[in-house]
Amino acid sequence: MTWTDIILKGILTGLVLTLSFGAGFFALIQTSIAKGVKKGLFIALGAIISDMLYILMALFATSFISEELPKYDQLIRILAMLSFLFFGLKNILQSKKKFEEQAIASEPNFYFLSKGFILNKLNPMILLTWVGISAYLRSSLLYNNLQLVLFFIAVMCSVFATQALICYSSNKLKRMLSDAFIQWMNIAVGLLFILLGIFIFFYGGSPESGIEKARHVLGK
């Protein structure tokens, strides 16, 4: 396995993960349209920070994940559901405001940074994905530590570059969209967050599902 192959596989993995149409994907689009590129990038940055922490856990805290984390499974699911419900209801309530009012009363950058972080961090399926990818790279592709680090650096660069492109492209669409469309979009994304919160609470996934997703993402 050459360094070029590892980097290319990391870039493609990052692209697939970004376009997997999860909560973060729709949050990026909605925020970039309603609040601007800068706010969308803070969503992306928060998600990247969360992903980096998850990757470190997957690489260096495997015993904690397998032995200790399951003890807090119920608490994590409850926190995830409450967080998704909060952001979902906030989106729906904000949809009643006119677009100009939303722009004037825009939240600080830290709100969007923390939103991206929380949407990612409290989703157990994200952690299982990174654990599955890490386990699959070690066991099936026989990556050593240096190769794993190179792979995940390529993934993170790919994820952030793709998210930045999504933010920029979505914001360009704003000129073509009416206030009514943006309000309905806020409602739709809010309902999506609520449904995802409920889904995570009842069907949070398993380590086996994470490894299976890794196999699918890596094309093996």
Give the side-chain half-sphere CA count within 13 A for 61: 11
**Cα–Cα distance, 47 to 101 (Å, whole number):** 27
Asked whether 114 and 212 are in contact (CB, 8 A), the reply is: no
Tell me which H or E stretch contains 129. Answer: helix 124-139
| pLDDT one digit per residue (tens) for the chain, 220 residues | 688 899 999 999 988 888 876 778 888 888 888 888 999 999 999 999 999 998 888 887 665 665 666 676 777 778 878 888 888 888 788 766 655 445 544 678 899 999 999 888 777 778 778 888 888 888 778 888 899 999 999 999 999 999 999 999 988 887 777 677 777 887 888 888 888 888 877 876 555 555 555 555 555 4
* 8 A C-beta contact, residue 171 and residue 59: no
Q: Which residues contact 175 (CB under 8 A, 6 or more apart)?
A: none
Kind and range of the H or E element at 190?
helix 179-202
Q: Over the range 76-99, which residues count as b (16 or more CB within 10 Å of their CB) and which as e?
A: bbebbbebbbebbeebbebbeeeb
* pLDDT value for 61: 67
Give residue 101's pLDDT: 45
Instruction: Please tell me the predicted confidence (pLDDT) of residue 46.
Output: 93
DSSP string, 150-185: HHHHHHHHHHHHHHHHHHHHHHHHGGGS-HHHHHHH
User: Closest Cα partner for 33 from 159, 179, 192?
Assistant: 179
How many folded domains does the chain comprise? 1
Residue with tokens 């706010």: 39
Domain that holds residue 49: 3-217
